[in-house]
Amino acid sequence: MLSRTADSLYWVSRYVERAEYLARILDATTRLTNLPHAYGGAGTEWQSAVSTAGCEEAFAKAYGEANERNVCDFLTFNPDNHSSIRNCLALARSNARAVRTALTSEMWDALNGAWLELQRFEKKRMDREELARFLDWVKNVSLVFDGSAYRTMLRDDGYWFSRLGVYVERADNTARILDVKYHVLLPANEQVGGSLDYFQWTTILREVSALTAYHWVYREAVKPLLIADLLILNRRMPRSLASCYENISRFLDALGDAYGRQGPAQRQARKTLANLNNTRIDDIFQHGLHEFISDFITENNRLGGTIIEQYLQ
């Protein structure tokens, strides 16, 4: 496969995954701001949304104050924000169009149809009710595209590059969600394990579609340690870091076998997967969740760069 084709397939999936992630962030933040004032929030929810999206500097230059109107505009339709939902879907479609023959008709129809529908959403006035409909639509676009890829793509290098884009992006997203909750959302004077903390963690589980899974796995009340265990180390949870790296390692190995050569990307993925498999959640909290997540994000970004250098240039 030509490197430019592989590159486009990789980024199509990353951009679609990122658009869904931004929709989940905004949906969760709206839920948090709707909590009764009696729970004592400190008004950091919209700032946390910007932090979780990883675009604090760009937002500060464009708006300054992190309130509902500014953050929603910046993360949904702002053309100057490279990672807004609008631009993610536009870039996904642009990359897909460049490799139209490498996609199945179902995948192309999902993206092209989404782009046309997006034009209609841009013309509407985004009150809370319309925003909720838009966010649900974005999540559904991702589900349809991902399902189309899973159900219709030939299992060859095109499929493997597409899946790598999904899981590298998803691992980054899950890590950022955990880190921001732990350091931004809960006010300094609020009790860990208190009512606000409980509702914030529950919302985080909803944000990654893991609330039901949590209760099935642990059968306990919501606890930060167990939530972190689910989203970091539990390979049965599709959005966990361990699950993402199990898939990343598998698809990189498939590429290595197909091309007859292993490289630094395979070695880095195996090393990260081994670290996750050999780590206990108690050890992570003992040494610092923030430090662990920061190191993971750095390593995940490094792997993304290595994949580009090894295969996509």
Q: Can you give the pLDDT of all 313 residues of the chain as single tens digits?
A: 789 999 999 999 999 999 999 999 998 888 878 765 544 455 678 888 888 888 888 999 888 888 999 999 999 999 999 999 999 999 999 999 999 999 999 999 999 999 999 999 987 788 889 999 999 999 999 999 999 999 999 999 999 999 999 999 999 999 988 877 665 444 444 444 455 567 778 888 888 889 999 999 999 888 888 998 999 999 999 999 999 999 999 999 999 999 999 999 999 999 999 999 999 999 998 888 888 999 999 999 999 999 999 999 8
Domain residue ranges of the chain, discontinuous segments joined by +: 1-153, 154-312
Helix (H) or strand (E) holding 268: helix 264-277
State residue 305's pLDDT score.
97
Structure tokens at 219: 């059968």
Smallest Cα–Cα separation from 182: which of 297, 285, 56? 285
Asked whether 22 and 83 are in contact (CB, 8 A), the reply is yes
CA distance readout (Å), 235 to 217, 232, 248, 276: 12, 8, 13, 10
Per-residue CA distances from 296 to 63, 173, 192, 230, 284 (Å):
30, 11, 24, 16, 12
Chain-centre distance for alpha carbon 208: 9
> What's the pLDDT score for residue 288?
86
CA distance 254 to 266: 10
Q: What is the model's pLDDT at position 277?
A: 95
Q: Is 306:268 a contact under the CB 8 Å cutoff? A: yes
Of 126, 39, 31, 110, residue with least CA distance to 74 = 126
Predicted pLDDT at 43:
61
User: According to the model, what pLDDT value does residue 192 have?
Assistant: 46
Distance from C-alpha of 131 to C-alpha of 305, rounded to nearest angstrom:
34
> Shortest CA distance to 33 belongs to which of 81, 65, 64, 66?
66
Rounded to 10°, the helix 85-98/128-152 angle is 30
Q: How many CB atoms lie within 10 A of CB 101?
A: 6
The pLDDT, as a whole number, for residue 221 is: 85
Residue 38 DSSP label: G
- Residue 273 · residue 263 · CB < 8 Å: no
**Whether the Cβ atoms of residue 141 and residue 16 lie closer than 8 Å to each other:** yes
Residue 76's nearest CA partner among 154, 131, 16, 139 is: 131
Predicted TM-score of the model (pTM): 0.91
pLDDT of residue 190: 46
CA 166 to chain centre: 9
